[in-house]
Amino acid sequence: MGVLDGLLGKGEEAAAVPGLPFNISTSLRPVRLNARKESSLEVLVAVKNVTDSQIMVSVSAEVPPSLGFENLGITRIKEIRIGELPAKKEKTVSFSVSSSSQTPAGVYSILIVVSHHYRDYSHVQNYAKKTVEIRAV
C-alpha cells in the first residue's frame, strides 16, 4: 500500500459533527516529506456545506516550527478565505507545506481550523479543528 499511497496520496474522510454546517476531509499529496532536505507536499482540505443555505467559510492551517509554508520556513500560519459556499456544495483548498535542511525525521502535526462566519470575516459563528499528521523520513 505504501507505493500506491505515494502515487495517489493519502486521504482521510471526516464524519458529520452535530451542530456544524459543514464536513471536513483532508488528504496529503505526496504522503510524506524528506527529512534534512528541501521538499514539499500539498495538504488538501475539502469543506462541504451540509445545510440548505449558503455559508461563509475560511480555512486556516498552522505548522510546527520545523516546517513552513515556503522554502525559508518563516510563515507558520496561513488562512484562505473561501467566501460564500453554496448549499450542498464542496470546495477544496490547498496548503503547500515545506521542509528544509534543518527538518529532522519524525511525525509533525498540522492544525487545521475551519471557521463559519456571519456578516464578515471578523465574526465567527462556529468553528471546527482538525489535526493532520505528516511524516518526514
Q: Give me the domains of the chain, ranges plus CATH numbers.
A: 2-136 (2.60.40.10)
pLDDT at 14: 56
pLDDT digit string, tens, across residues 24-64: 999 999 999 999 999 999 999 999 999 999 999 999 999 99
Largest interatomic CA distance in the chain: 48
Of 92, 103, 29, 25, nearest to 63 by C-alpha is 103
How far is 84 from 80, CA to CA, in rounded Å? Answer: 13
End-to-end Cα spacing for the chain: 17
The pTM of this model reads: 0.87
